[in-house]
Copies of this chain bind each other. A is one copy, B any other.
């Protein structure tokens, strides 16, 4: 094989980058579990007809086929399987399939790769890792879970080595109530046009609302006035009220939006802020209550790195409907641009904290015992692969960022050297421990420094 090239859209990490990704995934898991979310994993494949229920994603699906499948193989389901493009469709199917064995409300997290056959670009990949949390109940789901999802993500972002992030919140009820209050009949069509505000501008939106959706100029300007409102606290209520539109669903949506803002007021920091942004329309088609998006400072061009919302029917089997609320963090989407800019890396490319030097090949068994003693106290250790000169063994450690080299010196006792400072001290394999900050690789870089 000659030297292979990467495949566009299928990113892979070098060992130091993978250490960062692992620590990020560890932090996600820890926070999710502290909040009582249970892990599940679903198979990579779903029946194609399930994947194609959302029509617009159909072009992005990878289908599977056994290379040697017979064209008419009757019992081969693989001809109708595709790779999942998100973790929501598989989760909804999992809930229905196991509904008798799960306890509701069911809180789950799921961290897995997903696949989309899109044209790759920064922030958009053909294979990427998502981390999802959802709370799903039978028949009805209390609103307070919509506040809770934002609270969990506040805990998450406080722990991740990312640039500051801002969680943006909107409410489908608020928008729909306001539009109905304006007398707009086709709320969905109007929302889809307002969603293009970034692309076609206010004048373009107003023109399209009037000419294509059939709104009056006053209605169109009313839609634009609402989309301009953003804010961090209950003052958004006053600005909405000042627009003079009334509708019961609008009141309900405003109340809920304010509860999300107030429920996260104590969790904000210079790393994590929360704000209402009534221009967010993406996903309002699917969602029925609160909607979340997330912007990463300095990386606004990525769009939202963490999105979700409330569905009144995340799943349904005809008899029972399962409402849910959840959010999905694009792990690869957030990390890849930081890796490619060198903003995030690990203090070493290996878990190893100590290299046990090998004085001579005959002493490998003794060195392996030293290593085992250190491992017994949770210290990651390698024994030197060769009994080369000590200078060469030290360079082996240096090249990997391994901070300590252990010298087993027979009757004279053991010594350990911090190869960064050159300090070398007597040490007991049964007792020595490295400083806590050297035990495992640490994350370094400007993004981590904002900690």
Contacts and interface: CB of A to CB of B under 8 A. Distances in A.
Contacts of A36: 350-352, 380-382
A286 to B, nearest CB: 16
Nearest to A315: B1
A444 interface: no
Contacts of A15: 38-40, 102, 108
Interface in A1-53: 1-8, 10-15, 18-19, 22, 33-45, 47-48, 50
Contacts of A177: none
Interface string A432-450: 0000000000000000000
A277 interface: no
A4 B97 contact: yes
A392 interface: no
Interface stretch (A76-84, A213-221, A236-244): A76-84
Contact of A18 (B14, B41, B385): B41
Contacts of A105: 385
A318 B137 CA distance: 58
A171 to B, nearest CB: 19
Contacts of A101: 14
A317 interface: yes
A35 B368 CA distance: 11
A145 B384 CA distance: 11
Contact of A3 (B40, B317, B382): B317
A134 interface: no
B43 A12 contact: yes
Given A15-B108, A368-B151, A382 B35 contact: yes
Interface stretch (A60-68, A195-203, A301-309, A406-414): A60-68
A431 interface: no
Interface string A263-289: 100000000000000000000000000
8 contacts: A1-B318, A3-B317, A12-B94, A18-B39, A38-B349, A38-B351, A44-B113, A44-B115
Interface of A: 1-8, 10-15, 18-19, 22, 33-45, 47-48, 50, 58-69, 77-78, 81-83, 92-94, 96-99, 101-103, 105, 107-108, 113, 115, 117, 126-127, 137, 142, 144-145, 151, 155, 263, 315-318, 349-352, 364-365, 368, 375, 378-382, 385-386, 399-400
